[in-house]
């Protein structure tokens, strides 16, 4: 199979999707991490302020009151030891110290802890005096020292609260600045994404849409009979293969037209029309338009399926100039054709192909099924309001190879069926005004197989039509002796 070194459509779309995803995900993760970290820091500062303020309130309102209760005898020494307010204050300060983020914060907490130790020393002196019945006057003097040190502790805690409030204010300003910076950054990323998407669209146009437009132009030129026209090579793997196939087909058509000039008149005329029919310009136009539409919708698998089906369809139509191909290739030819139409029409078309493996190696005149299938779709199922169903079967009898193409379309009236059957029996040089595909296949069968080949038609109005192609198992009289066509 033809291999290209160019980038494929799949790779191009995958790379574009990865870049766009990164442009969205990376800034989002970066902004989230930075802003969340600062929010958590700010929240911790607020918690520290709340805890420090609560602790300073305890120092101011409870520590001295509890000590006075002990001095005046309202609280026993044992009760004082078990419910010592200073222990609660110390635990709070240790908790605050674990979340301190600056040296200044740590210093203030350490000062507060040492002040508590000083108060506890005085408290131990009072307890000793009470236990040894020392005069109250000495405890009152110690209380003055405790009050002074407690005021110092309260002052230090208030300094810590003010520090935390200032830090929280700074962090709030930092959050605001960070939000502004991140917003600007996000705007820049958004602008960059728009620029990238536009450039990517231009790139897609240059690498996908433009080559397809070139192929459409090539199809139109070939339809006008300009077989010397060549489409420039594409830069995408799938389109390069399709372009190459069409260019080769145009060249081969010129060669085949010259080679067939010496053949008998009817055979030459018939083969000329077959070669022109191989181009199927309207079919190629519609297929390429569908590929463009699917590419714009980023339906990658459908683009690949239709591109490769069209390329294989054209390749088999050419068959390196050979008029006789294995049934396996003839089957692939109609599969490619129906794959393209199925992708275009979706659920409106269904088909089955049942040809046994035992006859796949046998050789037949090429392109005898596709025109019949086309006729079944466009003159049969397309005119019906129900879903179109095409059934293709092949089998071998003792003397013949038989193909049947069935549809559930509009069918034919008795008069129309009688007219078509009469036309199939007309002389080979008779020019038909309609139904060219069917009559062309019939003419080619007669020219290449003789009268042993035939097309039988059965049809019921509004129910469907069955076309049976019968090919003899005999040598072809128009080709070299010993070469079998079935």
Q: Which has the higher per-residue pLDDT, 399 or 86? A: 399
Among 87-96, 229-238, 451-460, the range of highest mean pLDDT: 451-460
Domain-embedded: residue 431? yes
Number of domains in the chain: 2
Q: How confident is the model at residue 429 (pLDDT cuts 50, 70, 90)?
A: low
74 pLDDT higher than 80: no
CA 384/CA 392 separation, integer angstroms: 19
* pTM of the shown model: 0.47
Q: Could you say which of 196, 215, 231 is where a domain stops?
A: 196
Q: What is the pLDDT of residue 321?
A: 67
- Per-residue pLDDT band for 339 (boundaries 50, 70, 90) equals very high
Tell me if 410 is assigned to some domain: yes
Reported as a pLDDT band with limits 50, 70 and 90, residue 12 is low
**CATH no. for residue 372?**
3.30.565.10
Split at pLDDT 50, 70, 90, the class of 262 is very low
Would 480 be classed as within a structural domain? yes
Q: Looking at 177, 196, 215, which one is the last position of a domain? A: 196
pLDDT exceeds cutoff 80 at 44: no
Residue 481 has what pLDDT? 35
Kind of pairing, strands 388-396 and 349-354?
Answer: parallel
248 assigned to some structural domain: no
Give the model's pLDDT for residue 479.
Answer: 41
The answer to whether residue 199 scores a pLDDT higher than 70 is: yes
Boundary residue ending a domain (139, 165, 196): 196
d(CA 338, CA 434): 23
pLDDT at 284 over 90: no
* Strand-strand pairing, 454-460 and 349-354: unpaired
Q: Examine residue 271 and state whether it is found in any structural domain, yes or no.
A: no
pLDDT at 3 over 50: no
pLDDT at 454 over 90: yes
Mean pLDDT of 31-58: 77
On whether residue 135 sits in a domain, the answer given is yes
Residue with the larger pLDDT of the pair 477 and 436: 436
Q: To the nearest 10°, report the CA torsion of 85, 90, 91, 97.
A: 150
User: Can you give the pLDDT at residue 214?
Assistant: 79
Q: Has residue 338 been placed in a domain?
A: no
Q: How confident is the model at residue 445 (pLDDT cuts 50, 70, 90)?
A: confident
Domain that holds residue 404: 348-486
Confidence of residue 265 (pLDDT cuts 50, 70, 90): very low
In a domain, 118, yes or no: yes
CA distance 409 to 385: 9
- In this model, does residue 70 exceed pLDDT 50? yes
365-378 pLDDT, tens digit per residue, is: 888 999 899 989 98
Domain CATH for 108: 1.20.120.1730
Under 8 Å CB-to-CB from 428, ≥6 apart: which residues? 266, 270, 443, 446, 447
What would the mean pLDDT of 322-342 be, rounded to a whole number? 92
Cβ proximity of 322 and 367 under 8 Å: no
pLDDT value at 5 more than 50: yes
344, pLDDT greater than 60: yes
Sorted by sequence, the CB contacts under 8 Å of residue 325 that are 6+ apart come out as 316, 319, 363, 364, 366
């Amino acid at each position: 199979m033809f291999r290209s070194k160019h980038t494929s459509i799949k790779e191009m779309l995958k790379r574009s999707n990865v870049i766009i995803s990164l442009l969205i995900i990376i800034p989002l993760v970066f902004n989230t991490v930075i802003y969340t970290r600062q929010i958590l820091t700010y929240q911790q500062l607020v918690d520290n302020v709340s805890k420090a303020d609560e602790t300073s309130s305890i120092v101011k309102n409870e520590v001295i009151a509890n000590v006075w209760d002990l001095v005046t005898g309202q609280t026993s020494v044992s009760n004082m030891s078990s419910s010592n307010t200073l222990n609660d204050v110390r635990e709070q300060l240790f908790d605050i110290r674990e979340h301190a983020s600056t040296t200044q914060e740590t210093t203030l907490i350490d000062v507060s802890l040492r002040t508590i130790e000083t108060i506890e020393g005085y408290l131990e002196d009072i307890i000793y005096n009470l236990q040894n019945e020392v005069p109250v006057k000495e405890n009152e003097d110690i209380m003055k020292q405790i009050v002074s040190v407690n005021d110092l502790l309260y002052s230090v805690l208030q300094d810590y609260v003010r520090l935390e409030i200032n830090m929280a204010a700074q962090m709030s300003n930092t959050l605001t600045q960070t939000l502004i910076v991140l917003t600007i950054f996000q705007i820049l990323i958004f602008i960059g994404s728009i620029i990238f998407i536009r450039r990517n669209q231009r790139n897609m146009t240059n690498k996908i849409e433009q080559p397809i437009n070139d192929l459409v132009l090539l199809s139109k030129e070939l339809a006008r009979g300009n077989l010397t026209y060549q489409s420039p090579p594409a830069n995408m793997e799938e389109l390069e293969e399709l372009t190459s196939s069409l260019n080769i087909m145009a060249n081969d058509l010129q060669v085949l037209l010259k080679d067939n000039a010496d053949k008998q008149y009817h055979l030459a005329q018939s083969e000329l029309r077959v070669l022109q029919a191989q181009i199927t310009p309207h079919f190629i136009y519609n297929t390429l338009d569908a590929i463009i539409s699917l590419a714009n919708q980023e339906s990658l698998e459908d683009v690949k399926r239709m591109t490769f089906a069209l390329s294989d369809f054209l390749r088999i139509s050419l068959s390196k100039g050979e008029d006789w191909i294995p049934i396996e290739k003839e089957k692939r030819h109609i599969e490619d054709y129906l794959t393209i139409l199925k992708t275009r029409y979706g659920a409106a078309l269904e088909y089955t192909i049942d040809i046994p493996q035992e006859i796949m190696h046998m050789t037949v005149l090429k392109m005898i099924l596709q025109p019949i299938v086309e006729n079944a779709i466009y003159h049969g199922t397309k005119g019906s309001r129900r879903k179109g169903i095409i059934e293709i079967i092949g089998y071998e009898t003792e003397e013949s190879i038989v193909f049947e193409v069935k549809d559930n379309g509009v069918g034919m009236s008795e008069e129309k069926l009688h007219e078509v059957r009469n036309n199939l029996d007309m002389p080979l040089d008779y020019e038909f005004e309609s139904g060219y595909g069917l009559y062309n296949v019939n003419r080619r069968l007669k020219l290449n197989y003789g009268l042993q080949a035939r097309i039988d038609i059965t049809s019921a109005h509004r129910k469907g039509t069955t076309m049976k192609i019968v090919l003899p198992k005999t040598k072809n009289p128009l080709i070299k002796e010993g070469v079998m066509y079935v």
